[in-house]
Amino acid sequence: MKKDILIPEVTDIFMAIVKEYNSEFQCDDWNAYIINNKNIDIEMILIVSKGYNEDKQIETAILRHRIEKLPAKSYAKVELLLNDVIKLSNVFNVTFFEENVMYDKIFLFKKGSIKEGALRTISLLNKRGILIK
């Protein structure tokens, strides 16, 4: 029965962790973004995220986010990552609809990958961050 289920490949949808200055609190924050680099809108985006550490079996609370529609060639801020959380592995399970077809992809930022030295310019965001394809 499982062999009969078609699971389409996700393309042109990315997650990014961006370090941004927060003028309200006058500090740098790490924020997670979802990026739609497609030429078509996506809808009913559900994002389930958590941080964890395999060694000490530490897990954060599971966070759930919903975005009704993400237009083509756009992005949306998903959540703020606290300094204690960026030290962990962070996983984002993204499910969405494109032309009435459901897609699902897991984006994993491995422990130690969210750091200053890994920051690169993300052209669509026009910000520096870490991008997972």
Query: Which pLDDT tens digit goes with each residue over 15-58?
Result: 999 999 988 989 999 999 999 999 999 999 999 999 999 876 88
pLDDT of residue 98: 96
Using 50, 70 and 90 to split pLDDT, how confident is the model at 2? low
Structure confidence by residue, pLDDT tens digits, 43-99: 999 999 999 998 768 899 999 999 999 999 999 999 999 999 999 999 999 999 999
Give the C-alpha separation, 45 to 42, whole Å: 7
Per-residue H/E/C for the chain: CHHHCCCCCCCCEEEEEEEEEECCCCEEEEEEEEEECCCCCEEEEEEEEEEEECCCCEECCCEEEEEEEECCCEEEEEEEECHHHHCCEEEEEEEEEECCEEEEEEEEECCCCCCHHHCEEECCCCEEEEEEC
Q: Chain-wide mean pLDDT for the chain?
A: 93
Using 50, 70 and 90 to split pLDDT, how confident is the model at 117? very high
pLDDT of residue 57: 81
Sign of CA pseudo-dihedral 55, 56, 60, 61: positive
pLDDT of residue 82: 92
pLDDT of residue 1: 59
Using 50, 70 and 90 to split pLDDT, how confident is the model at 6? confident
pLDDT of 5 > 80? The answer is no
